[in-house]
Amino acid sequence: MMASSYNAKDEDGLHPGSVGSGGPGSVKSKKPDNTAFKQQRLPAWQPILTAGTVLPAFFMIGLIFIPIGIGLFVTSNNIKEFEIDYTGVDMSSPCYICAQNYSWDSTSVCTCSVPFTLDQHFDSNVFMYYGLSNFYQNHRRYVKSRDDSQLNGDKSSLLSPSKECEPYRTSENKPIAPCGAIANSLFNDTLELFYIHPNGSRIAIHLVKTGIAWWTDKHVKFRNPGGSNSNLSVVFQDTSKPVNWRKAVYELDPADPENNGFINEDFIVWMRTAALPTFRKLYRIIQKKKDNMTPTLPPGNYSLEVTYNYPVRSFDGRKRMILSTISWMGGKNPFLGIAYITVGSVCFFLGVVLLIIHHKYGNRNNSADITN
């Protein structure tokens, strides 16, 4: 932009130096100090919107944004994503029966198997998400219904959770651990993935269940009470499990003490509430094959085995399973690419329009002298 730095040292008043200089010893004059600050003459950069600055800026923005947008768009398009809704709303859906017999506390296990086909091969690491729709994890009462001190392993909070957790604060006169509505509504479907080999055999795909939560959450925000080595069942003995849970918090992953209790990653992921009512959360990671030659998920038929526990029909919610690869810009989202291309084009177009306007009117108006 244009800069016109102005640094004037003009004389004071109309009578330069004639009066008031006040020789040494004279009474201190009330004349204000001659500093750039007090006289409002601080040197300054004074940008203004001229054709010389605005029009190039518009073209530059156009030139920068369009390639970025194209890059983003291509990247997003290269991401492979597969999504399947297993809510079981339709009669034809394999999970229809499970979806009908809902209750939180049913002890019987309902499973369903959803077949699907991948047309493309998925390379590199493949991320498996579950997605929920119309689920208001961002509702104010829901969001605040947790006790971060308790989740951080604070002993006193463990036994007397924050009032924010109401009405999931105590159950059977025992404090609930983890307390609150968020923990109470933990997503508890179990998803398993099988590859149906063309020869008909079902090959279970190995799903990694650690490394799905933020490092800071796993290591800072969430801690089990009593340190990492203690016996969790003892630590939690005076607490009650959340009312909707089938098992206690220390039974989430008894096999792996690093993934049990509050630091269970499925739990941590769930506790990071979503911003919008439609969201997806990372469930498992399918790691790429060691040899790098064969795709992580080759094209073909697959079967998703669902242990259907989580009721969403009541509030018209949907449950999805998503398989996706990842790029430098994250998951598949064409918005940014399109937006950049659009904005870039608009800038370019505006630049042209303003250029024409400037040629037609600008010179005439701006060179017109200010009538004194």
Residues 204-233 that bind other proteins (CB under 8 A): 212-217, 220-221
Q: Least distance in Å: CB of 364 to other proteins?
A: 9
**What span, in angstroms and rounded, lies between the C-alpha atoms of 211 and 127?**
11
Quick one: which segment of 10-18, 84-92, 189-197, 301-309 binds other proteins (CB under 8 A)?
10-18
| Residue 13 in contact with other proteins, rule: CB under 8 A | yes
Say which residues have a Cβ less than 8 Å from residue 158's Cβ, sequence separation at least 6: 150, 175, 177, 225, 235, 236, 239
- Per-residue string for binding with other proteins, 272-311, x by CB under 8 A? xxxxxxxxxxx--x-------------------------x
Q: Could you say which residues in the range 98-157 bind other proteins, by CB under 8 A?
A: 104, 125, 127, 129, 131, 134-143, 145, 147-149, 151-152, 154
Of 195 and 214, the one with the shorter C-beta distance to other proteins is 214
| Residue 45 in contact with other proteins, rule: CB under 8 A | yes
For residues 338 and 71, is the Cβ–Cβ distance under 8 A?
A: no
Q: Could you say which residues in the range 164-183 bind other proteins, by CB under 8 A?
A: 164, 167, 181
Q: Could you say which residues in the range 71-90 bind other proteins, by CB under 8 A?
A: 72
Q: Could you say which residues in the range 307-346 bind other proteins, by CB under 8 A?
A: 311, 314-316, 324, 326-333, 335-336, 339-340, 343, 346
| Residue 19 in contact with other proteins, rule: CB under 8 A | yes
Of 94 and 131, the one with the shorter C-beta distance to other proteins is 131
Phi and psi at residue 314, to the nearest 5°: -60, -35
| Residue 63 in contact with other proteins, rule: CB under 8 A | no
Say which residue the tokens 């020789």 belong to.
23
The DSSP line for 69-94 is HHHHHHHHHHS-EEEEE-S--STTST
Buried b / exposed e along 317-349 (16+ C-beta atoms within 10 A): bbbbbbbbbebeeebbeeebbeebbebbeebbe
**What span, in angstroms and rounded, lies between the C-alpha atoms of 289 and 293?**
8
Say which residue the tokens 């220390």 belong to.
250
**What span, in angstroms and rounded, lies between the C-alpha atoms of 238 and 231?**
13
202 secondary structure, DSSP code = E
Of 185 and 259, the one with the shorter C-beta distance to other proteins is 185
Q: Least distance in Å: CB of 70 to other proteins?
A: 13
Q: Least distance in Å: CB of 73 to other proteins?
A: 12
